[in-house]
Amino acid sequence: DVKVTQSSRYLVKRTGEKVFLECVQDMDHENMFWYRQDPGLGLRLIYFSYDVKMKEKGDIPEGYSVSREKKERFSLILESASTNQTSMYLCASSRGRGFRQETQYFGPGTRLLVL
């Protein structure tokens, strides 16, 4: 079974803090993704990576950065947390490139509250 784990289920941070969200997958997947999930808006893509040290902006990258130093690990960084970044953050991974890409497998999510 594919397993995608996220470092924290719940996180409370203060405005202006630097926040790290970690994601690890154990299936040697090439692709990894970070989404945020807000009520009524579905899943919105923040960043994704299709290889180590590679990253591409998704639909809402502002205020976020990412790091992929190892194939199995993909980190999401909030450089200076703001209250409008309070959300559920979901990490996902998948195998394959382009039209060969298979479905995405999701982690359990990190619910972040920024005060």
Partner 1 sequence: GENVEQHPSTLSVQEGDSAVIKCTYSDSASNYFPWYKQELGKGPQLIIDIRSNVGEKKDQRIAVTLNKTAKHFSLHITETQPEDSAVYFCAARLYNFNKFYFGSGTKLNVKP
Q: Pick the piece of the chain touching partner 1 (CB under 8 A) from 11-19, 63-71, 73-81, 91-99.
A: 91-99
Q: 36-49 burial, b if ≥16 CB within 10 A, otherwise e?
A: beeeeeeeebbbbb
- Should residue 90 be labelled a site residue for partner 1 when binding is judged by CB under 8 A? yes
Q: Which of residues 63-82 bind partner 1 (CB under 8 A)?
A: none
Give the count of beta carbons closer than 10 Å to the beta carbon of residue 78: 19
Q: Which two tokens stand for residue 26?
A: 């154990």
Residues that bind partner 1 (CB under 8 A): 4, 31, 35, 40-45, 48, 50, 56, 58-59, 90, 92, 94, 97-99, 101, 103-109
